[in-house]
Amino acid sequence: MSYPSDRKYTKEHEWITADGTIGITHHAQDSLGDIVFVELPKVGAEITAGKTFGTVESVKAVSDLYAPVSGTVTATNEALATAPEQVNKDAHGAWMVKINLKNPAELNALLSAADYEKFVSEEAGH
């Protein structure tokens, strides 16, 4: 799987674009299996880098979503409330929240697409 290079990645399997759009990676949705529910923060909520900001529930488990950077939620993907399976269909297209970045320099600490691919393959033991 090649990951879009227009975004940064976390070791918790979230992605973020430079404009503050956040979602989970293909690897994450693949590991989770069929996603049945997504819980997201409300618009106006403050999220903090490295802290949980929501959950994704699959038929296998409930997993926390971790904020790649700090900021204020400006939008949530309302469609996921009724169609959480969109994340399984297109993990890199089905964004979860959009934030106003508090400190854009935090993006520099995240993984590039190439580094994330390497991390995923090492994690899988390849």
Distance CA 106, CA 109 (A): 6
Q: What is the mean pLDDT of residues 16-35?
A: 97
Do 31 and 14 contact (CB within 8 A), yes or no?
no
Residue 2 confidence (pLDDT) = 84
pLDDT, position 125 = 79
**pLDDT at site 123:** 83
**Helices (H), ranges, the chain:** 26-32, 79-82, 86-89, 113-123
CB atoms within 10 A of CB 124: 9
Alpha-carbon distance 119 to 24, whole Å?
15
CATH architecture of the domain with range 7-103 = Beta Barrel (2.40)
Residues 6+ apart with CB under 8 A from 122: none
pTM value > 0.85? yes
In whole angstroms, what is the distance from residue 99 CA to residue 32 CA? 24
Question: Are 1 and 77 in contact, with CB atoms under 8 Å apart?
Answer: no
| Residues comprising the chain, all counted | 126
Q: Any idea which of 36-45, 73-82, 116-125 has the lowest mean pLDDT?
A: 116-125
| Higher per-residue pLDDT: 124 or 15 | 15
